[in-house]
């Protein structure tokens, strides 16, 4: 069962009022695209496993149950079982999660996954979020590692970033751009197309699929495959709901998380098809030389010390990857 229209306010209220045993509501954060959207692949795989094992799961369209802050509140209050959310939301409860998206900190996705699992960082994140009513089920990738999209200035070298004003998600991204000699301006996602077309921003950082999925190919001209950081979001669940599950239901949920995790990682294992689609849409794909990528990595080092994480979190991340 999948909702196909935006719910009215009364329908949302009715949906949220349903008892936890009636259905597992899963709030999506992207269009339902199984070929491009990593978070949708995760959510859909998770839902299908629950349904196949006797748990009624329902996918709700992006923002049908509210935007990021509203969904976080609903999850923490036990009104919404599962939400595909940004890491910033979980970070308001415990900033340890911010370490997962530090630019050029991890050698690759496999190293990040080892830090989360074997290194105990997912457990550490949950030690901070679960007392606030939110459990991080998994760290989910929206797509391949993030690169640099620009409208007018192709980024072929580190020096090309100088003076380019980039759309920033938050103050952390503004700090990143400043370290690179660029500038940042915070723009909400809904306002991004207008900002890019009017010159308020000259580009953004995102995984390769984003302009294809969100219709930005008409004004994005260049993509630098910088592989700066993983495109991290989170699957969060109500801790009240999780604790109320029977042992059998919890095993089903854990298995669903494992299956969704594997499906998500399989989708983003190869970016060649997405890069081809960008080129077909008229966006030039630029690969950085090892020397230029090293300049970005070196310039990013001070960011780690200023990332808004609790005391000891950076040291924990370093220990989790063996540094």
Domains (range + CATH), the chain: 9-142+232-267 (3.40.190.170), 147-229+272-320 (3.40.190.170)
pTM score, whole prediction:
0.83
Q: What is the pLDDT, as a whole number, of residue 22?
A: 66
Instruction: Specify the pLDDT at position 172.
Output: 82
pLDDT at 125 over 90: yes
Beta carbons of 90 and 129 less than 8 angstroms apart: yes
Tokens 């990738």 belong to: 141
Identify the pLDDT of residue 271.
86
**Of the candidate ranges 64-68, 85-89, 257-261, the one whose mean pLDDT is the lowest:** 85-89
Mean pLDDT of all residues in 193-199 = 96
- With 0-12 / 13-18 / 19 or more C-beta atoms within 10 angstroms meaning exposed / middle / buried, residue 49 is buried
Q: Grade residue 39 by pLDDT with cuts at 50, 70 and 90.
A: very high
pLDDT of residue 252 exceeding 70, the answer is yes
Mean pLDDT rounded to a whole number for the chain = 91
Coil, strand or helix: which one is 307?
coil
Mean pLDDT of 169-178: 88
- Which regions of 144-246 does DSSP assign to beta strands (E)? 147-150, 165-168, 183-186, 203-206, 222-224, 232-238
Give me the mean pLDDT over the 217-222 stretch: 96
| Residue percentage of the chain with pLDDT more than 70 | 93
DSSP annotation string for 231-272: -EEEEEEEHHHHHHS-HHHHHHHHHHHHHHHHHHHHHTS--H
pLDDT given at position 284? 98
* pLDDT tops 50 at residue 19: no
């Amino acid at each position: 069962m999948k909702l196909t229209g935006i719910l009215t306010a009364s329908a949302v209220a009715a949906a949220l009022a349903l008892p936890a045993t009636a259905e597992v509501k899963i709030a999506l954060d992207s269009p339902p695209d199984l070929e491009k959207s990593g978070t949708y692949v995760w959510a859909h795989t998770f839902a299908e496993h629950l349904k196949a094992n006797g748990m009624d799961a329902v996918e709700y369209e992006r923002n049908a149950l509210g935007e990021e802050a509203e969904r976080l509140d609903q999850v923490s209050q036990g009104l919404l079982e599962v939400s595909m959310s940004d890491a910033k939301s979980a970070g308001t409860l415990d900033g340890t999660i911010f370490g997962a998206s530090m630019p050029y900190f991890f050698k690759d996705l496999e190293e990040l996954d080892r830090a989360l699992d074997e290194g105990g960082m997912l457990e550490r994140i949950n030690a901070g979020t679960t007392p606030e009513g939110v459990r991080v089920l998994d760290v989910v990738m929206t797509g391949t590692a993030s690169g640099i999209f620009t409208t007018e200035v192709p980024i072929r070298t580190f020096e090309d970033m100088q003076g380019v004003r980039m759309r920033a998600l938050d103050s952390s991204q503004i700090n990143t751009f400043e370290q690179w000699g660029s500038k940042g301006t915070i723009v909400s996602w809904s306002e991004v197309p207008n900002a890019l077309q009017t010159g308020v921003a000259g580009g953004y950082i995102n995984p390769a699929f984003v302009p294809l999925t969100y219709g930005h190919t008409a004004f994005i001209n260049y993509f630098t495959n910088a592989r700066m950081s993983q495109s991290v979001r989170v699957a969060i669940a109500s801790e009240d709901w999780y604790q109320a599950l029977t042992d059998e239901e919890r095993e089903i949920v854990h298995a669903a998380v494992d299956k969704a995790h594997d499906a998500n990682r399989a989708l983003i294992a190869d970016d060649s098809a997405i890069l081809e689609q960008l080129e077909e849409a008229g966006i030039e794909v630029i690969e950085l030389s090892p020397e230029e990528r090293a300049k970005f990595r070196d310039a990013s080092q001070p960011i780690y010390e200023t990332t808004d994480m609790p005391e000891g979190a950076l040291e924990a991340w370093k220990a989790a990857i063996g540094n």
